[in-house]
Amino acid sequence: MQALVSCRGDDDIRPRGGRKLSDLGDAGIFLSLAPRVDVFFPPLKRTRVSAPFIPQDWEMLGSRCKQMCSLNALSDECLLEILKRVDGDRERSVAACVSKRWLTLLGTTNISMVPLTAPPSSKSGALCGEQQQPKKRLPDLNETAKDEIDEDEEEEPIPLENCDKRPSRCLEGKAATDVRLLALAIGTGGQGGVGELSIRADGSSRRVTDVGLGAVARSSPSLRVLSLWNTPYITDKGLSQIANRCPLLEKLDLSRCPQITDKGISAIAMNCARLSSLTIESCPMVGNDCLWAVGHFCPKLRSVSLTDLALVGDKGVGSLLSSSSSSLRKISLRRLSITDLSLAVVGHYGKATVKLIFADLPNVTERGLWVMGCARGLQQLKSLTIISSGATDLGLEAVAKGCPLLKQLSLQRCTHLSDSGLRKLSAAAASLEILQLEECNLITLPGVAGALLTFSARFRSLSLVRCLGFRDVESYPESLPLHSSLKSLSIRQCPGFGNSGLAFVGKLCRQLRRISLSVLPGVSDAGLLSLSKGCKLGLVKVNLGGCVNVTDAAVAALAKRHGGTLQALDLGGCTMVTDESLLAISDSCFLLQDVDVSKSAITDAGVAALASGVGLNLRILSVSGCPDISARSLVHLSNLCPSLVGLNLQLCDLLTGHDIASFQSKMGQCDVLS
């Protein structure tokens, strides 16, 4: 019942127990503040209050309502109940595109292992004996018509044994993130996941963690190859998930992973018995314990590469080699703190080893190589690379005698190797075919000549790189014994090597087919002509890159004498080569397929002559850095070179983007670098 209000007139309002209000505007203010107000309004007058009625904390309440209306307000349990009712892995993959939270939830939870709570209607239908009809899959708007026709044909999952059919994925740079890995896990999980995964992160931010790697582990039980490069936030937890869920892993490559320790690699070794290749580089927390586990639990291990591991010593290398001696075929040890003891273990237990690499081992001396060779255990060794690791004349001779099947030897920065040691090495290595000497500064040209005469008939390739001890010979006998087996000769960046040395080599080696004379300022036309005259079988590949004193005369003579066999010619950086050389090449070299005339003095006329002469066989051409090349050259190439697949047009200032685009439209098969 309404309270009593004392009213003396139509315009008077009096609240209960209060003062008289003669103005209705004051009454409106009073109404908005008082908790209980009894008023009387005249029937013919109504006061309109202009101020809105806004409750306290209304804005906060509105924003809270908006948040409650969002799907993100649902708990993970509710979202799981929703996603469990999405039939099929493909549909779940499409649903994961809704938000990153859904993607993370699907990637970190195995939906197929979560029991589905049946709704009441399905239970009642089952009790009544009603047969449940399969629900039709909702259409995917991203599908094509062909996909909709073939959707009824179910794809049979690939069994774990057929791992070679699994797809491979590579995430590099900014694309290497947890979100990408989660999407990859969901998208490929229905068919057994991926077979090969390579992650090459930039390491600048927290992009790849154990969350993404764990999702891949759960979705790819048939993973065979895993490569992690520069992933500072991957820990033993992520690697353990790979070990527990990917038993078919065969190849593991870890580089610059600072949080991975012996625990993670030991888990891989104990759970992945098929592991055949292991590469660990710049992982500062990896030590000897994991190498012991790998040696004992991986009987199929074939290749191991250890680089820049400060905690790895003789104990770890010894336990690894002694346990897996029957299977290990390739060993690479770089920048380690091992001593001569490890090389002795290699020489004793490396019975199946065919390839060895020792690089930057400061604690290894001449004694280590000598003991390794005298152990007589490397009977199957075919390739040996030694980079600045205590190589001397005595040690290399012992290695050559202890490895009867050695075919390829590379010696880099071996500053103690002399001409005498090289001759003893050539006499002891009866099966040697390929020799590379790089930065061996005590080696001279007479020492190389003596070694060539001592090598067996199997020797066929010699490479000399940055050997500062080379000097031009002033005189040599007119009649020299011939080395009939050498087919390939490469001399690069040896500043003391000149024309007389080249002529000496030409008289000594008459069966050359491939020569590479790169960045030799002392070589000119005279030396090149002497060498080309001595090659009786015909040159197939010639590289004169960086020989700035070679002119058109030498190129013309080379083309005339060896044009019937020449297939590749590199004149890059020969600044004195002009169109005359290309004219001579077009007249004689009909089999030429690869030509490099970058940074030379050629013009459009030379390119036109080359295209008209050898255009049918020409596949690769480089005119980079030639300032006189214009669109006319592209017209000749497009009309006369149908087999062209590679063209380098960098630093050709006369060419425009329109010219290159027009050429590419005509030569769709050609890869243009501009």
Locus of tokens 């680089």: 307
**347 backbone dihedrals φ, ψ, rounded to 5°:** -65, -30
Range list of H helices, 390-535: 393-402, 419-428, 445-454, 499-508, 525-534
**Position 268 in a domain:** no
Residue 600 scores a pLDDT above 60: yes
CA proximity to 278, closest of 256, 249, 238: 249
Tens digits of residue pLDDT in 363-377: 999 999 999 999 989
Contacts of 232-236 with CB under 8 Å at 24 or more apart are 232/203, 232/256, 232/257, 232/258, 232/259, 233/206, 233/207, 233/208, 233/209, 233/259, 234/208, 234/209, 234/210, 234/259, 234/260, 235/210, 235/259, 235/260, 235/264, 236/260, 236/261, 236/263, 236/264, 236/267
**Position 575 in a domain:** yes
pLDDT, residue 281, reads 96
**Position 69 in a domain:** no
Tens digits of residue pLDDT in 288-335: 999 999 999 999 999 999 999 999 999 999 999 988 767 899 999 999
Alpha carbon distance 534, 468 (integer Å): 26
Tens digits of residue pLDDT in 440-496: 999 998 888 888 888 888 999 999 999 988 887 766 655 566 666 889 999 999 988
**Position 410 in a domain:** no
Alpha carbon distance 156, 239 (integer Å): 30
Tens digits of residue pLDDT in 380-434: 999 999 998 889 999 999 999 999 999 999 999 999 999 999 999 999 999 999 9
**Position 312 in a domain:** no
Q: CB within 8 A of 189, min separation 6: which ones?
A: 89, 218, 219, 220
**In this structure, are strands 330-334 and 594-596 parallel, antiparallel, or unpaired?**
unpaired
Range list of H helices, 298-390: 314-323, 340-349, 366-374
Tens digits of residue pLDDT in 201-212: 886 666 889 988
Residue 656 scores a pLDDT above 60: yes
Alpha carbon distance 325, 312 (integer Å): 19
**Helix, strand or coil, per DSSP, at residue 618:** coil
Range of the domain at 618: 539-673
CATH number at residue 643: 3.80.10.10
**568 backbone dihedrals φ, ψ, rounded to 5°:** -140, 130
Cα–Cα distances (Å) from 543 to 62, 103, 363, 488, 540, in that order, read 77, 55, 39, 12, 10
What is the biggest distance separating any 2 CA atoms in the chain, rounded to whole angstroms?
146
Q: For 218-260, what is the HEC assignment?
A: HHCCCCCEEEEECCCCCCHHHHHHHHHHCCCCCEEEEECCCCC
Give kind and range of the element (H or E) at residue 639. helix 631-640
Alpha carbon distance 535, 554 (integer Å): 15
Reported pTM: 0.77
Percent helix / strand / coil, the chain, rounded to 5:
40, 15, 50
- Is residue 654 very low, low, confident or very high in pLDDT (cuts 50, 70, 90)? very high
8 A C-beta contact, residue 333 and residue 308: no
Lowest mean pLDDT among 11-15, 412-416, 662-666: 11-15
8 A C-beta contact, residue 577 and residue 571: yes
DSSP string for residues in 54-119: --TTHHHHHHHHHHHHSGGGS-HHHHHHHHHTS-SHHHHHHHTTS-HHHHHHHHHS-GGGSPP---
**196 DSSP β-pair partners:** 168, 225
- For the record, the structure tokens of 293 come out as 């586990």
8 A C-beta contact, residue 295 and residue 328: no
Residues making up the chain, counted from first to last: 674
Ramachandran category for residue 413: left, alpha or beta (phi over 0 → left; psi -120 to 50 → alpha): left
415: amino acid identity, one letter: T
Locus of tokens 């009642």: 124
**457 backbone dihedrals φ, ψ, rounded to 5°:** -70, -10
**605 DSSP β-pair partners:** none
8 A C-beta contact, residue 301 and residue 329: no
pLDDT, residue 197, reads 94
**Position 648 in a domain:** yes
Tens digits of residue pLDDT in 526-567: 999 888 888 888 899 999 999 999 999 999 999 999 999 999
CA proximity to 410, closest of 337, 342, 357: 357
Sign of dihedral through CA atoms 509, 510, 514, 520?
positive
8 A C-beta contact, residue 581 and residue 554: no
Tens digits of residue pLDDT in 18-36: 444 444 444 444 444 444 4
8 A C-beta contact, residue 283 and residue 257: yes
213: amino acid identity, one letter: L
Alpha carbon distance 239, 229 (integer Å): 13
Tens digits of residue pLDDT in 488-533: 999 999 988 888 888 888 888 888 999 999 999 989 999 998 888 8
With vertex at residue 102, the alpha carbon angle to CA 101 and CA 104, rounded to the nearest 5 degrees, is 65
Q: Looking at residue 306, what DSSP letter applies?
A: E
Look at the chain and report how many structural domains it folds into: 1
**Position 557 in a domain:** yes
377: amino acid identity, one letter: G
Q: Looking at residue 166, what DSSP letter applies?
A: S
Tens digits of residue pLDDT in 89-126: 566 666 666 666 666 666 666 544 444 444 444 444 44
pLDDT, residue 572, reads 94
pLDDT, residue 46, reads 52
Q: CB within 8 A of 279, min separation 6: which ones?
A: 252, 253, 254, 255, 303, 304, 305, 307
**383 DSSP β-pair partners:** 355, 408
**Position 645 in a domain:** yes
Residue 75 scores a pLDDT above 80: no
